[in-house]
């Protein structure tokens, strides 16, 4: 009887008290699918409020040096004074350069006289050569002498221009309109022009009628900033007052130490009530990043230190890594490139669930999760 049994499938023969032999087929049965409840992610649309610390800076600032070496004879302004572009800040006595200018002027006068005389001789030579009164060689020599005299005149004028520029350096002027924020000299001090050290500066000048407000933006914020963004800036030292700041520019580079990007806002400061270097807080609203969804808090699992959600794909469990964002209490924002608004996410995933397990999903809500 055993030989008549089909050998295509495994069988077992049981003999019970000598009675008939009964074959049983060994069937490999899959476990029943696990029943789970799912919810659909909701696309996050609500703008988020953020507060970031920052500091005011001048719109423009400069450290002013002198290129003239001499004694300060006049100091026109002091710290806190307002100056206009081109206004004289200080005057330095440079008698050596003054004498060089006088000598260069005399050299120009002398060169002009020689050039005029040589020019006249060359012109007369051109007239005499027609009457054969002088030779061609003599005429060419006189013309060459005239050209040399003209070149000497240009050289003398160039030297006068050079020392004249040096003389101008004795008068220090403001490169732009602003406020004197620091002074490093007194009248009678000797200043060294073109100093190789950083200690020989005269003034520090800053434009304060418009201030920069500088913050360090983390990557998730920096990618959402645009020229249209405004911030409301507050300072603890000025309770009850707010200042509207418009974004001006970003550095486009993340600092390798802090991991943040420099972002500059502009604050109007016509009355000069805000000083530079004041710390404050910028409050701004930004839209969520692309691919940001809202899910219930009880959809998350942590495995191997990574935040995951379990989703249903073709009737089987798949775990997706997500990045949690703002917590709204019962719900939380998550960012993941693998999630879509039609991905069923398992609620309260069983700790025994594994990747690839068969599940039977039941949607507990018909709409999107969250708001």
Domain layout of the chain by residue ranges: 34-45+290-368, 51-59+205-286, 95-168
Residue 139 φ then ψ, to 5°: -65, -45
Using an 8 Å Cβ cutoff, are 282 and 247 in contact?
A: no
Which homologous superfamily is 51-59+205-286 in?
A: Efflux pump adaptor protein, beta barrel domain (2.40.30.170)
Whole-number pLDDT of residue 365: 62
Whole-number pLDDT of residue 22: 45
Whole-number pLDDT of residue 70: 87
Judging by beta carbons within 10 Å of its beta carbon (0-12, 13-18, 19+), is residue 303 exposed, middle or buried? exposed
Give the right CATH number for 95-168 from 3.40.50, 1.10.287, 1.10.3470, 2.60.40.
Answer: 1.10.287
Alpha carbon distance 273, 200 (integer Å): 30
- C-alpha distance from residue 171 to each of 161, 163, 184, 307 (Å): 16, 14, 16, 67
- Where b means 16+ CB within 10 Å and e means fewer, 163-182 reads beebbebbebebeeebbbbe
pTM above 0.75, yes or no: no
Give the right CATH number for 34-45+290-368 from 1.10.150.20, 3.30.420.40, 2.40.420.20, 1.10.8.420.
Answer: 2.40.420.20
Give 320's Cβ-side CA count (13 Å radius): 21
- Describe the strand order of the beta sheet including 42-43 as a list of residue ranges: 42-43, 292-296, 331-335, 323-327
Print pLDDT tens along the chain (371 aa).
444 444 444 444 444 444 444 444 444 456 788 888 899 988 887 777 889 999 999 999 999 998 888 899 999 999 999 999 999 999 999 888 889 999 999 999 999 998 888 888 887 777 777 766 777 777 778 888 888 989 999 999 999 999 888 888 889 999 999 999 999 999 998 888 775 566 789 999 999 999 999 999 988 888 888 888 889 999 999 999 999 999 999 999 999 999 999 999 999 999 999 999 999 999 998 877 777 888 898 888 888 888 888 888 888 889 988 888 777 788 888 888 888 888 889 898 888 888 888 888 888 864 444 44
* CATH topology agreement for domains 51-59+205-286 and 95-168: no
């Amino acid at each position: 009887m055993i030989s008549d049994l089909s050998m295509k499938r495994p069988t077992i023969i049981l003999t019970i008290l000598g009675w008939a032999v009964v074959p049983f087929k060994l069937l490999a049965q899959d476990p029943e699918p696990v029943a789970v409840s799912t919810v659909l992610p909701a696309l996050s649309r609500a703008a988020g409020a953020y507060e970031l610390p920052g500091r005011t800076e001048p719109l423009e600032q400069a450290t002013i040096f002198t290129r003239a070496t001499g004694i300060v004879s006049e100091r026109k302004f002091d710290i806190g004074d307002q100056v206009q572009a081109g206004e004289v800040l200080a005057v330095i006595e440079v008698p050596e350069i003054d004498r060089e200018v006088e000598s260069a002027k005399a050299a120009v006068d002398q060169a002009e006289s020689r050039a005029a005389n040589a020019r006249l001789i060359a012109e007369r030579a051109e007239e005499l050569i027609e009457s054969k009164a002088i030779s061609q060689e003599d005429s060419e020599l006189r013309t060459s002498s005239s050209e040399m005299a003209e070149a000497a005149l240009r050289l003398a004028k160039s030297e006068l221009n050079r020392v004249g520029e040096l003389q101008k350096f004795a008068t220090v002027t403001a490169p732009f309109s602003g406020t004197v924020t620091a002074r490093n000299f007194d009248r009678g001090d000797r200043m060294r022009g073109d100093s190789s050290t950083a200690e020989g500066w005269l003034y520090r000048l800053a434009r304060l009628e418009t201030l920069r407000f500088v913050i360090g933006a983390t990557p998730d914020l920096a990618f959402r900033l645009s020229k249209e963004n405004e911030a409301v800036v507050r300072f603890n030292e000025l309770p009850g007052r707010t200042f509207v700041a418009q974004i001006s520019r970003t550095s486009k580079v993340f600092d390798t130490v802090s991991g943040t990007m420099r972002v500059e806002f502009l604050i109007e400061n016509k009355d000069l009530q805000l000083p530079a270097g004041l710390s404050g807080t910028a409050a701004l609203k930004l839209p969520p990043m692309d691919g940001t969804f809202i899910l219930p808090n009880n959809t998350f699992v942590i495995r191997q230190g990574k935040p995951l959600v379990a989703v249903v794909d073709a009737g089987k469990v798949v775990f997706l890594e997500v990045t949690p964002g703002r917590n709204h209490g019962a719900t939380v924002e998550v960012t993941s490139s693998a999630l879509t608004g039609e991905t069923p996410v398992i609620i309260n995933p069983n700790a025994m669930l594994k990747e690839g397990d068969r599940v039977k999903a039941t949607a507990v809500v018909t709409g999107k999760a969250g708001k």
